[in-house]
Amino acid sequence: MDVQLNTLYIVTRGATVRRDHLTLQVVVEQQARLTVPIHQLESVAAFGGVHVTPGAMGLCAESGVAVNFLTESGRLVARVDAPSSGNVLLRREQFRRADDPGARGSVARCLIAGKLHNCRNLLLRAGRESGDAADQGTLSGAAGHLAGAIPNLEADTDADTVRGREGDAARVYFAAFGAMVRVGRGEFTPNGRTRRPPLDRMNALLSFLYALLTHDCTAACAAAGLDPSVGFLHVDRPGRPGLALDLMEEFRPLLADRLALALVNRQQVKASGFEFREGGAVSMDEATRKAVLTAYQQRKREEVTHPYLDQKVPLGRLPFLQARVFARHLRGDLPSYLPCVLKN
């Protein structure tokens, strides 16, 4: 069976991560706060002003654990990885396919079909749980729109067409998003999707969760021996983890959107935990970020039955499994990439 591997997040400013034999030790104000055996880790995420000693980075590299340095809001700044990780044959095949418009289109339509299924299931679920007739109407209308878009993808042969359909679906989905907010609707209804900077609380929350998810999907691609930066749906751009973003599409509704809604609806995240800056940018305060990280880690531990691998897996393992399915598709073992669609 798979070992339950995990990400070590360090958000405390001024913390130091150092090596202690075969463990990583997190030290804050000269006090050891946490010791984690290296073999339990898949990656390390250091947010903001966190020090990682060369010894700790060396241990991580030897063990195939990537160290990611991120800004406090979760943007990736730098990444320390082993000198040669993964498989050159696989990466070469990935580049070859990514250069082939036909292959790009057929992968892209599968990725987006998976995403739209998961978005639609989230809308349907929220509709069932809602007590308000107007909201139910909004949600089932949006779900119906996505249901209509999915079969059209099957005939799409180029990635641009898929991107167009995805854009339309995303607009409808985010327009209905507010109907899934049940508590604090005034403060937490998003005004469409805004980013760089997010202009409302819900978008600030989503952006942070997407950053965490990008981080996990990047680690998943690297762990499967793929190059996280060469995507099929997302075109190459320096500094952008194209393949990680591709892989992430199906997980946005499962691991980020649903969690954002739960945090707001259960009032685990309060309107007062957000800061408004000059120019309208919204960000979360440190306590809120910590609460979100804790909830995200908890959500990743929840077990689901993988629809076609037929095994119980924690949600946090899904990106890693799917990255391997993707690699198996590239190596010719599987006729198409099959995303993970969850009913609940």
Partner 1 sequence: MIPLPILPADGADYPPLSALNDLLFCARRCFLHRVEGVWVENVHTTAGTLDHRRVHQTRDTESATGRTARGLWVTSHRLRLTGVCDLVEFRPGAPEVPFPVEYKRGKRRTWDNDEVQLCAQAMCLEEMLGHAIPSGAIFHVKSKRRREIAFTPDLRERTGETAERLHALLAATTTPPPVVHPKCKQCSVRSVCMPDLLTGASAYRRAVADLFRTS
Q: Which CA distances in Å does 226 have to 90, 211, 219, 232?
A: 7, 20, 10, 12
The residues in 4-43 that bind partner 1, with binding defined as CB under 8 A, are 39
Tell me the β-bridge partners of 19.
Answer: 24
Smallest separation (angstroms) from partner 1 to the CB of 175: 20
- Residues 153, 162 contacting (CB under 8 angstroms): yes
Considering the complex, state which of residue 101 and residue 307 has its C-beta at the smaller distance from partner 1: 307
306 is in an annotated binding site: no
Token pair in block for residue 22 = 């075969």
Smallest separation (angstroms) from partner 1 to the CB of 289: 32
Classify each residue of 21-51 as buried b or exposed e, where b means 16 or more C-beta atoms within 10 Å of its C-beta. eebbbbbeeeeeeeebebeebbbbbbbbebe
**x/- letters, 117..136, toward partner 1 (CB under 8 A):** x--x----------------
7-15, 178-186, 213-221, 323-331 -> range binding partner 1 (CB under 8 A): 323-331
249 is in an annotated binding site: yes
Neighbours of 271 (CB within 10 A): 12
Considering the complex, state which of residue 120 and residue 300 has its C-beta at the smaller distance from partner 1: 120
Considering the complex, state which of residue 32 and residue 334 has its C-beta at the smaller distance from partner 1: 334
- Out of 12, 63, 73, 297, which residue is the one contacting partner 1 (CB under 8 A)? 63
Residue 283 identity (one-letter amino acid): S
**Angle, CA of 203, 205 and 209, to the nearest 5°:** 110
Q: What is the DSSP letter of 304?
A: E
- Out of 32, 33, 62, 185, which residue is the one contacting partner 1 (CB under 8 A)? 62
The residues in 143-182 that bind partner 1, with binding defined as CB under 8 A, are 147, 150-151, 153-154
Considering the complex, state which of residue 262 and residue 334 has its C-beta at the smaller distance from partner 1: 334
Three-class DSSP category at 193? coil
166 is in an annotated binding site: yes
- Residues 119, 261 contacting (CB under 8 angstroms): no
CA 307/CA 114 separation, integer angstroms:
12
Q: Does 197 bind partner 1 (CB under 8 A)?
A: no
Which residues lie closer than 8 Å to 260 by C-beta, 6 or more apart?
202, 205, 206, 209
Considering the complex, state which of residue 32 and residue 89 has its C-beta at the smaller distance from partner 1: 89
CA 156/CA 160 separation, integer angstroms:
9
Token pair in block for residue 102 = 């036909």
Considering the complex, state which of residue 79 and residue 306 has its C-beta at the smaller distance from partner 1: 306
**x/- letters, 87..106, toward partner 1 (CB under 8 A):** xxxx----------------
User: Which residues contact partner 1 by CB under 8 A?
Assistant: 2-3, 39, 62-64, 84, 86-90, 110, 113-114, 117, 120, 147, 150-151, 153-154, 224-225, 307-310, 324-325, 328, 331-336, 338-339, 341
Q: Which residues does the annotation place in the binding site for Mn(2+)?
A: 166, 234, 249
